[in-house]
Amino acid sequence: MPLVRLAVASLALALAAPIARAEPRTGHDFRTELALLHRVVACVPSEVAVPAAWVEVVDQHCAQLGRQTARFRERYVDPAVPFLAAIRPADLPRSVVYPFGGGDLASALVTYPEATDITTISLEYSGDPRQLAGLSATELRAALSDFRTAIRGLLTANDSATSALQSIQRGPLPGQVCFFLTALAVFGHRPISLRYFRLEPDGSIHYYSSEEIEALAGKRARKIRDWGVDTDHSVAFSNAELVFERSRGDRARVVHRHVTANLDDSHLRGSPLEKHLVAKGRVAAMTKAASYLLWTGGFTVIRDYLLRYADFMISDSTGIPPRHARQAGFQQVTYGRFTGPFLRASEIHTEAFAELWRSQPYRRLKFRYGYPDADGNFHLLVTRRAP
């Protein structure tokens, strides 16, 4: 056995015993794999030793990722956190729903730092965390380079293109999980556990045991949309639950679940996911860089869910159109400037959004939140339930 595999295997054996005892009730906890990913991919120093053959590769990766995350903090986190804190009500629900939020746990932490339950939903699969341990130094170098390329958009522009998210649906790193761990590293939060699950017909959660994961090994996760990418891992690694501990003094634990799903009406209506979301009750919501899908007639179920269950929502112009918000009893407050959509979209909603911005006083916005508008202006929209 190569030295890298031997070192990682020894770590796994040392940590595995206490995990197995809890498995029948909670499913298999990939704590060992999580610790290695956190150290090697997210570059957080820990008690996990980097195998000697990997040291140079990991050091180079962490130097480059460190420069990316430093710019991300400076351009986005540092200005956005106090700004959003000033406009966010203190009594918001602590449960957050972020549709079309592929890979972007970071923005959820920026927007709702007090959340204790965060659900992101996108077309991308969470990924298999087990393959990292078996890589050679050469394979690791290539995988980490691909990861930095994929996450560059998020760390540069605060958003990820679908093509970037899809590019890491194959390969030895669990793409979405690695994005999430990088977000935790930015805030200094500490990951505690990683489990995978499915939603039952009634919307409840079933965590996979190691035996169930093994039984699903031959069933590959296929692309959800025609232009997507078939993965090279099983369907067991579709939905992930990442529990982490906040870095602040309260050390509160937060549950983040990523659900892989197509949110169009034909897939969401009556689905286990819709029932799962409804069961949460009142939530805070957000969306950004969502291709203006909430403007269209094919995503009415998720739009109606947000209007029924969200007390407060922060978005760019890809959020709830003014007509629908007004009819549901919401008020909308604008920040920055908006003259037209970043991508081609409904002319009716384009004019309604432009008029919404024109009708309100200019409120300065110093950071990009989602898409810029057609002229490159930063803008942000608060949609809140009217008193």
pLDDT digits (tens, 9 = 90+) for 131-148: 999 999 999 999 999 999
pLDDT for 22: 40
pLDDT for 221: 80
pLDDT tier at 387 (50, 70, 90 boundaries)? Answer: confident
| Domain boundaries defined on the chain | 3-261
Q: Which residue spans within the chain are E strands per DSSP?
A: 95-99, 117-122, 190-199, 205-207, 239-245, 253-260, 283-287, 310-315, 330-336, 379-385
pLDDT tier at 71 (50, 70, 90 boundaries)? Answer: very high
Of 29-33, 141-145, 165-169, 221-225, the poorest mean pLDDT is in 165-169
pLDDT for 12: 42
- Residues of 47-57 as b/e, b for ≥16 C-beta within 10 angstroms? ebebbebbeeb
Task: Name the average pLDDT for the chain.
Answer: 90
Element (H, E) at 348: helix 347-358
